[in-house]
Amino acid sequence: MPLTPLQHDRRYGELDQVMRAYVGQAADDTPGRRSTALDAYLRHTWHTRPWALAVAEQQLREYAQHPPGRLRQRLGEFYPVPDVGLGDAEIQGWLTVLADHLRHSIEEGEVPAPSAPVTHWAWHSRFPELGQLLGGWFSQDMADEFDDHDAAIEDYRGTTDLSLVAKVVGELHELVALDLDESEYALAVAELGMEVDPPAPYSPGAWLALLAQRLG
């Protein structure tokens, strides 16, 4: 029978987080160099859940050393590694390289330097509630549901738990504090799910600052 959620998390939960970091990214790690995706995972996880790095290293190495056999695959009792552009014969070696990089980072205390997110996974991991707001209320369907941006903001405020609104405000202040240029803010809101332009005459960065004031 397929894995239960508890079984999945115990065996593969953090491995799955590492794999999610590779969505849209190249799995081009080598023994001497980390990929952009693995750097993003390390940077965020060191900052938010440093203890999870050791769990990820163990789960990656265990999967590489003991890949699921035919019986477990037939029963559905395994984690299917997503397509990262590598052949089946390459996956085990690649997972071992990832585990080695994680072990080195832990043992040497080697932490990627702080930076703005550079991958889709990193944007959503760092700003999860803001992603819910922008992707849910400012998608391409906004015009069918609300008269304008202000109406969408008021609907979000009126239908969302106050603790989540407070988290969004905090994430907005953090994003504005990155002091990006406007093209980078445009990329940020697109990565976080916004599919409409900010209301005139605001630039993406100015509208994020205004949104923080409105919701705060």
DSSP class per residue in 129-176: HHHHHHHHHSSTTHHHH-SSHHHHHHHHHHHS-HHHHHHHHHHHHHHH
Instruction: Indicate whether 130 pLDDT > 70.
Output: yes
* pLDDT for res 4: 80
| Cβ atoms within 10 Å, residue 3 | 17
pLDDT digits (tens, 9 = 90+) for 140-191: 999 999 999 999 999 999 999 999 999 999 999 999 999 999 999 999 999 9
Per 3-state DSSP, the chain is made up of helix, strand and coil in percentages (nearest 5) of: 65, 0, 35
| Cβ atoms within 10 Å, residue 141 | 12
Cβ-count burial of 201 within 10 angstroms (0-12 exposed, 13-18 middle, 19+ buried)? exposed
Question: Could you tell me the pLDDT band of residue 71, with boundaries at 50, 70 and 90?
Answer: very low
